[in-house]
Structure 1
């Protein structure tokens, strides 16, 4: 049994668990079984003390749905993308990314963040994932006006179990009728992600029986990034994971992740994350974000940092 800061007591199998980690109250419960093939992270949170923050978002190889239940972001600004500044934005959808973004928040954040596999997002969002690449888009623009109504109902419901129930029902309804990924694309993603981005694209094309050009077009439509760009992000994420363990040198990590050498590793970190491996290791990370300020650094939890 856990007594949350908002006075919500939960107990029993599948119950909501509320714990304080650093500057956040964090809310979890087991995912609905029908969501498990599509979801990789599902967590609610609110700030113990409202604190303005700024953070650098780095690619995760996942698509994100963020339900904002309180203050919106001041902006989410994608680096190196023309027109990549969202302006003030509340609940949002983020497609797959291969470059960093800067997000700023005035403090007082309360939200539920759900991360999907790329093909899970394709089925949920019901649109070409290529239309969401490197973008943060308002939830109504992706999921329709009913998504806005859902957010309002969740924000008006103080009970976290009821909030999760509302969100689960909405996700399950969309998954039931969403488009099914092409089997060849599903197999290509399985091969690429299973190798952490090291398998040659030509080999994937040969195994699924498509030309590389056709594979690239269909893959990009349903995943959001080309196979080559996806491979870069997957290698980057593998390197980040190895850095987090702290058990290998940069030279060893470069070899293990399929980089030509350490210089290649450094170049990819700068291109994909806007930082260096050393800076990434030293910084605290929040849901794949590297803190840029002390306030951002202190307001989030380690598990949400996606390292």
Structure 2
């Protein structure tokens, strides 16, 4: 069910889509944000507070969640032996090379953005390696500005007005944020356009850096090494193909550059602690596997 409106809680150009007991609210983001933002949506529950659990799998993107209602109860990385991460309110997540479990008590209302790694580098204005495999509070990255932005968005009921406020804030931070090295930008383009199926040695030759120097600068500004980024991008491409349905494991294996189906299975276990069959059945959306 889809509803598009220009009044009430929607706003001009805003589309609201019913997904089970949840609404997804979208609007095209401005051209000045398109090089940095991959997806952009608001969510709110239509059927009351229903607890849920999802497993997040690596996507090659950073995530910003601005909570306007109940926050996550728990966010933890699978396989970690240390204390669980208790993030309340809005949060920032860097690039991941493994799965993360998220529990929510229900009553969610939030805005979720997926950012390109280099867009996140400019927006967060910190070395991305500091956020790798980590989830931190929004104010830990944005400072007091993050808290003020979340309060302004929560106080505004009209989704169009919310998106206007967010667009202005994002554009301002990106404009004054650090600019990644052109060589890192080119390396990321090569990797992403190839879906990870390109040797790091070829990338280094194309950008004119040694592999060691490329790895250091790339990891600082993207968050993962070029080699791990290639694995994550190849995995994510396989997830997309499986989630669309219709593609066999043989076809996915060949299209994504895995040696064979055993290699495909090993990567799914290593990066997401799941199987290609489970992903195909769950139809993963926005990196989330419902549990």
TM-score (norm 1): 0.90
Paired with 1:9 and 1:251, the residues of 2 have a C-alpha distance of 44
Gaps of 5+ in 2: none
Paired with 1:8 and 1:69, the residues of 2 have a C-alpha distance of 14
Matched-pair contact (CA < 8 Å) for 1:84–1:135: no
How far residue 284 of structure 1 moved from its aligned partner, in angstroms, is 4.1
Paired residue total: 288
Matched-pair contact (CA < 8 Å) for 2:87–2:135: no
Question: CA distance change for structure 1 residues 196 and 9 in 2, over 3 Å: closer, same or farther?
Answer: closer
How far residue 266 of structure 1 moved from its aligned partner, in angstroms, is 0.3
Structure 1 residues 14-55: Cα deviation after superposition (integer angstroms, max 9, x where no partner)? x22223232111211110121011111010110112210011
TM-score (norm 2): 0.94
Q: How does 1:182-221 map to 2 (within 5 A)?
A: 182-221=181-220
Q: Aligned to 2:4, which of 2, 5, 19? A: 2
Partner of 1:135: 134
Are residue 64 (structure 1) and residue 63 (structure 2) matched? yes
1:285 match: secondary structure: coil
Question: CA distance change for structure 1 residues 180 and 9 in 2, over 3 Å: closer, same or farther?
Answer: closer
Question: CA distance change for structure 1 residues 266 and 272 in 2, over 3 Å: closer, same or farther?
Answer: same
Structure 1 residues 169-219: Cα deviation after superposition (integer angstroms, max 9, x where no partner)? 111110111111100000111111111001100011111111111100000
Paired with 1:7 and 1:187, the residues of 2 have a C-alpha distance of 44
Moved more, 99-108 or 15-24: 15-24
Paired with 1:58 and 1:133, the residues of 2 have a C-alpha distance of 14
Matched-pair contact (CA < 8 Å) for 2:123–2:170: yes
Matched-pair contact (CA < 8 Å) for 2:94–2:135: yes
Moved more, 277-286 or 223-232: 277-286
Partner of 1:38: 36
Are residue 248 (structure 1) and residue 247 (structure 2) matched? yes
How far residue 82 of structure 1 moved from its aligned partner, in angstroms, is 5.1
Partner of 2:274: 275
How far residue 285 of structure 1 moved from its aligned partner, in angstroms, is 2.8
Gaps of 5+ in 1: 293-307
Partner of 2:107: 108
Structure 1 residues 260-297: Cα deviation after superposition (integer angstroms, max 9, x where no partner)? 111110010011111000011111434211111xxxxx
Partner of 1:299: none
How far residue 81 of structure 1 moved from its aligned partner, in angstroms, is 3.9
How far residue 238 of structure 1 moved from its aligned partner, in angstroms, is 1.1
Structure 1 residues 57-86: Cα deviation after superposition (integer angstroms, max 9, x where no partner)? 011111111100000100110123454732
Structure 1 residues 138-179: Cα deviation after superposition (integer angstroms, max 9, x where no partner)? 000011111111101111111111211111111111011111
Matched-pair contact (CA < 8 Å) for 1:78–1:84: no
Paired with 1:84 and 1:35, the residues of 2 have a C-alpha distance of 36
Structure 1 residues 106-146: Cα deviation after superposition (integer angstroms, max 9, x where no partner)? 00000001111110110111110001111111000011111
Q: How does 1:1-307 map to 2 (within 5 A)?
A: 2-3=4-5, 7-8=8-9, 10-11=11-12, 15-49=13-47, 50-81=49-80, 83=82, 85-292=84-291
Matched-pair contact (CA < 8 Å) for 1:244–1:281: yes
Structure 1 residues 203-251: Cα deviation after superposition (integer angstroms, max 9, x where no partner)? 1111111111110000000000000100000110111122123333212
Paired with 1:3 and 1:256, the residues of 2 have a C-alpha distance of 40
Matched-pair contact (CA < 8 Å) for 1:24–1:47: yes
Paired with 1:18 and 1:140, the residues of 2 have a C-alpha distance of 29
